[in-house]
Amino acid sequence: MSSGAKGSWEFKVASFVKSSAQPSECPVPDRPEYAFIGRSNVGKSSLLNMLAGRNSLAKTSSTPGKTQLINHFDVDGTWYLVDLPGFGYAKVSKREREKWMKVTKQYLDSRINLMCVMMLIDSRIPAQKVDLDFMAWMGKTGLPFVLVFTKVDKLNKAEQAEFLPAYEMEMLKQWHKMPPVFVTSAKTGEGREEMLRFISATNGLYQP
Protein backbone atom coordinates (compact mmCIF):
# COMPACT_ATOMS: atom_id res chain seq x y z
CA MET A 1 0.00 0.00 0.00
CA SER A 2 2.59 2.50 -1.05
CA SER A 3 1.47 6.04 -1.66
CA GLY A 4 4.10 6.45 -4.38
CA ALA A 5 5.83 9.43 -2.77
CA LYS A 6 8.75 8.89 -0.43
CA GLY A 7 8.02 9.73 3.20
CA SER A 8 10.19 10.23 6.25
CA TRP A 9 9.91 6.47 6.87
CA GLU A 10 11.72 5.65 3.61
CA PHE A 11 15.49 5.20 3.64
CA LYS A 12 18.29 5.61 1.09
CA VAL A 13 20.98 3.03 1.78
CA ALA A 14 21.12 -0.35 3.54
CA SER A 15 24.42 -2.21 3.65
CA PHE A 16 25.91 -5.29 5.28
CA VAL A 17 28.10 -4.55 8.32
CA LYS A 18 29.25 -7.89 9.76
CA SER A 19 28.37 -11.41 10.85
CA SER A 20 28.88 -12.39 14.48
CA ALA A 21 29.06 -15.85 16.03
CA GLN A 22 28.56 -14.42 19.53
CA PRO A 23 26.72 -11.36 20.90
CA SER A 24 30.04 -10.01 22.19
CA GLU A 25 31.23 -9.71 18.58
CA CYS A 26 28.28 -7.55 17.48
CA PRO A 27 28.74 -3.87 16.52
CA VAL A 28 28.78 -1.23 19.26
CA PRO A 29 25.14 -0.71 20.38
CA ASP A 30 25.07 2.99 19.49
CA ARG A 31 21.81 3.19 17.50
CA PRO A 32 18.35 1.60 17.49
CA GLU A 33 18.25 -2.02 16.40
CA TYR A 34 15.51 -4.33 15.07
CA ALA A 35 15.98 -8.09 15.13
CA PHE A 36 14.23 -10.38 12.64
CA ILE A 37 13.67 -13.97 13.72
CA GLY A 38 11.52 -16.91 12.73
CA ARG A 39 11.47 -20.60 11.97
CA SER A 40 13.70 -21.78 9.15
CA ASN A 41 12.26 -21.19 5.68
CA VAL A 42 9.83 -18.53 6.93
CA GLY A 43 11.06 -16.15 4.22
CA LYS A 44 13.21 -13.94 6.42
CA SER A 45 15.95 -13.09 3.92
CA SER A 46 13.38 -12.37 1.21
CA LEU A 47 11.50 -10.03 3.57
CA LEU A 48 14.70 -8.18 4.50
CA ASN A 49 15.50 -7.69 0.83
CA MET A 50 11.97 -6.43 0.22
CA LEU A 51 12.26 -3.91 3.06
CA ALA A 52 15.62 -2.73 1.72
CA GLY A 53 14.26 -2.43 -1.81
CA ARG A 54 17.03 -4.60 -3.25
CA ASN A 55 17.50 -8.28 -4.01
CA SER A 56 20.98 -8.80 -2.66
CA LEU A 57 21.03 -7.35 0.87
CA ALA A 58 20.41 -10.66 2.65
CA LYS A 59 21.35 -13.95 1.00
CA THR A 60 18.35 -16.11 0.19
CA SER A 61 18.63 -19.86 -0.04
CA SER A 62 16.34 -22.76 -0.83
CA THR A 63 18.10 -24.60 2.00
CA PRO A 64 16.37 -23.86 5.33
CA GLY A 65 18.65 -23.06 8.25
CA LYS A 66 21.25 -21.27 6.10
CA THR A 67 21.54 -18.23 8.41
CA GLN A 68 23.75 -19.43 11.27
CA LEU A 69 25.20 -16.12 12.43
CA ILE A 70 23.95 -12.79 13.78
CA ASN A 71 24.00 -10.56 10.68
CA HIS A 72 23.96 -6.78 11.09
CA PHE A 73 22.93 -4.37 8.33
CA ASP A 74 23.33 -0.61 8.58
CA VAL A 75 20.43 1.57 7.41
CA ASP A 76 21.34 5.16 6.51
CA GLY A 77 23.87 5.17 9.36
CA THR A 78 20.95 5.62 11.78
CA TRP A 79 19.67 2.14 12.71
CA TYR A 80 20.54 -1.54 12.50
CA LEU A 81 18.51 -4.29 10.90
CA VAL A 82 19.55 -7.70 12.28
CA ASP A 83 19.05 -11.10 10.65
CA LEU A 84 19.09 -13.81 13.34
CA PRO A 85 19.52 -17.58 12.84
CA GLY A 86 16.33 -19.43 11.96
CA PHE A 87 15.14 -22.05 14.43
CA GLY A 88 13.20 -25.30 14.36
CA TYR A 89 14.83 -26.83 11.29
CA ALA A 90 14.71 -30.64 11.66
CA LYS A 91 17.71 -31.50 9.45
CA VAL A 92 20.08 -29.70 11.79
CA SER A 93 21.13 -31.72 14.84
CA LYS A 94 19.35 -31.05 18.11
CA ARG A 95 22.66 -29.97 19.64
CA GLU A 96 23.20 -27.45 16.85
CA ARG A 97 19.63 -26.10 17.17
CA GLU A 98 20.08 -25.68 20.92
CA LYS A 99 23.39 -23.88 20.33
CA TRP A 100 21.77 -21.43 17.88
CA MET A 101 18.88 -20.79 20.25
CA LYS A 102 21.24 -20.18 23.19
CA VAL A 103 23.23 -17.62 21.19
CA THR A 104 20.03 -15.99 19.94
CA LYS A 105 18.59 -15.64 23.44
CA GLN A 106 21.91 -14.27 24.75
CA TYR A 107 21.86 -11.68 21.97
CA LEU A 108 18.23 -10.67 22.62
CA ASP A 109 18.83 -10.49 26.36
CA SER A 110 21.98 -8.38 26.14
CA ARG A 111 21.46 -5.78 23.39
CA ILE A 112 20.59 -2.57 25.21
CA ASN A 113 19.74 -0.82 21.92
CA LEU A 114 17.24 -3.48 20.77
CA MET A 115 13.98 -1.65 20.12
CA CYS A 116 11.82 -4.50 18.89
CA VAL A 117 11.90 -8.13 17.77
CA MET A 118 10.18 -8.84 14.46
CA MET A 119 8.73 -12.34 14.90
CA LEU A 120 8.16 -13.82 11.44
CA ILE A 121 5.34 -16.31 10.90
CA ASP A 122 4.51 -18.18 7.68
CA SER A 123 0.89 -17.20 7.00
CA ARG A 124 0.22 -20.59 5.36
CA ILE A 125 0.97 -22.63 8.49
CA PRO A 126 -1.18 -22.92 11.65
CA ALA A 127 0.27 -21.68 14.96
CA GLN A 128 3.31 -23.78 15.91
CA LYS A 129 4.31 -24.65 19.48
CA VAL A 130 7.95 -23.62 18.87
CA ASP A 131 6.79 -20.12 17.86
CA LEU A 132 4.31 -19.78 20.71
CA ASP A 133 6.92 -20.97 23.23
CA PHE A 134 9.47 -18.47 21.92
CA MET A 135 6.94 -15.64 22.16
CA ALA A 136 6.12 -16.72 25.72
CA TRP A 137 9.84 -16.50 26.55
CA MET A 138 10.01 -12.99 25.07
CA GLY A 139 6.96 -12.01 27.12
CA LYS A 140 8.55 -13.26 30.34
CA THR A 141 11.83 -11.52 29.45
CA GLY A 142 10.02 -8.26 28.72
CA LEU A 143 11.15 -8.03 25.10
CA PRO A 144 8.87 -5.94 22.87
CA PHE A 145 7.90 -7.81 19.71
CA VAL A 146 5.55 -7.65 16.75
CA LEU A 147 4.19 -10.41 14.52
CA VAL A 148 5.13 -10.31 10.84
CA PHE A 149 3.13 -12.75 8.72
CA THR A 150 5.00 -13.68 5.52
CA LYS A 151 4.08 -15.15 2.11
CA VAL A 152 0.49 -13.85 2.19
CA ASP A 153 0.53 -13.76 -1.63
CA LYS A 154 0.52 -17.57 -1.59
CA LEU A 155 -2.93 -17.65 0.08
CA ASN A 156 -6.22 -17.53 -1.79
CA LYS A 157 -8.85 -14.96 -0.77
CA ALA A 158 -10.63 -17.31 1.63
CA GLU A 159 -7.35 -18.28 3.31
CA GLN A 160 -6.33 -14.62 3.58
CA ALA A 161 -9.56 -13.89 5.44
CA GLU A 162 -9.16 -16.85 7.80
CA PHE A 163 -5.49 -17.16 8.80
CA LEU A 164 -5.22 -14.14 11.11
CA PRO A 165 -8.39 -14.78 13.20
CA ALA A 166 -7.27 -18.42 13.58
CA TYR A 167 -3.82 -17.34 14.78
CA GLU A 168 -5.28 -14.76 17.14
CA MET A 169 -7.49 -17.44 18.67
CA GLU A 170 -4.42 -19.54 19.50
CA MET A 171 -2.38 -16.62 20.85
CA LEU A 172 -5.16 -15.30 23.06
CA LYS A 173 -5.11 -18.58 24.95
CA GLN A 174 -1.84 -17.34 26.47
CA TRP A 175 -1.98 -13.56 26.00
CA HIS A 176 -4.42 -10.87 27.14
CA LYS A 177 -4.09 -9.06 23.82
CA MET A 178 -2.32 -9.35 20.49
CA PRO A 179 0.96 -7.55 19.76
CA PRO A 180 1.08 -5.33 16.67
CA VAL A 181 0.63 -7.34 13.46
CA PHE A 182 2.03 -6.83 9.95
CA VAL A 183 0.86 -8.84 6.96
CA THR A 184 3.53 -9.02 4.27
CA SER A 185 4.57 -10.41 0.92
CA ALA A 186 8.17 -10.21 -0.27
CA LYS A 187 6.86 -10.83 -3.78
CA THR A 188 4.32 -7.98 -3.97
CA GLY A 189 5.83 -5.59 -1.39
CA GLU A 190 2.69 -5.71 0.77
CA GLY A 191 3.38 -4.50 4.30
CA ARG A 192 6.64 -2.72 3.47
CA GLU A 193 5.44 0.81 4.07
CA GLU A 194 3.61 -0.16 7.27
CA MET A 195 6.71 -1.85 8.70
CA LEU A 196 9.06 0.99 7.78
CA ARG A 197 6.64 3.56 9.23
CA PHE A 198 6.57 1.54 12.47
CA ILE A 199 10.38 1.41 12.61
CA SER A 200 10.65 5.14 11.87
CA ALA A 201 8.20 5.99 14.66
CA THR A 202 9.93 3.62 17.11
CA ASN A 203 13.33 5.14 16.28
CA GLY A 204 11.96 8.35 17.76
CA LEU A 205 11.75 6.61 21.15
CA TYR A 206 15.42 5.62 21.18
CA GLN A 207 17.53 7.08 23.97
CA PRO A 208 21.33 6.62 23.65
Render pLDDT for 37-90 as a digit per residue (tens, 0 to 9): 998 889 998 999 999 887 777 765 445 455 678 999 999 999 999 999 887 665
- Bridge partners, residue 80, by sequence: 33, 74
Share of the chain above pLDDT 90, in %: 72
Residue 90 lies in a domain: yes
Res. 1: pLDDT tops 70: no
Q: Give how many domains the chain has, as a whole number.
A: 1
Q: Which range of residues forms the domain containing residue 194?
A: 14-202
For the residues 127-150, what does the mean pLDDT come to? 96
Q: Rounded mean pLDDT of the chain? A: 89
For residues 74 and 98, the model is more confident at 74
- pLDDT at residue 100 in the model: 83
CA dist list (Å): 66 to 60, 129, 151: 8, 22, 19
Cβ atoms 80, 34 nearer than 8 A: yes
Helix (H) or strand (E) holding 38: strand 33-38
Residue 4 lies in a domain: no
Please give the angle made by the CA atoms of 154, 119 and 41, to the nearest 5 degrees. 50
Residue 2 lies in a domain: no
- pLDDT at residue 60 in the model: 57
Distance CA 34, CA 203 (A): 10
Residue 8 lies in a domain: no
Residue 44 lies in a domain: yes
- pTM here is 0.90
For the residues 160-168, what does the mean pLDDT come to? 97
Which of the four pLDDT bands, split at 50, 70 and 90, describes residue 12?
Answer: confident
Residue 5 lies in a domain: no
Res. 160: pLDDT tops 60: yes
Residue 6 lies in a domain: no
Q: Which residues contact 183 (CB under 8 A, 6 or more apart)?
A: 123, 149, 152, 164, 190, 191
Res. 113: pLDDT tops 50: yes
- pLDDT at residue 93 in the model: 76
- pLDDT at residue 194 in the model: 97
The tens digit of pLDDT for each residue in 170-204 reads: 999 999 999 999 999 999 999 999 999 999 999 99
Residue 193 lies in a domain: yes
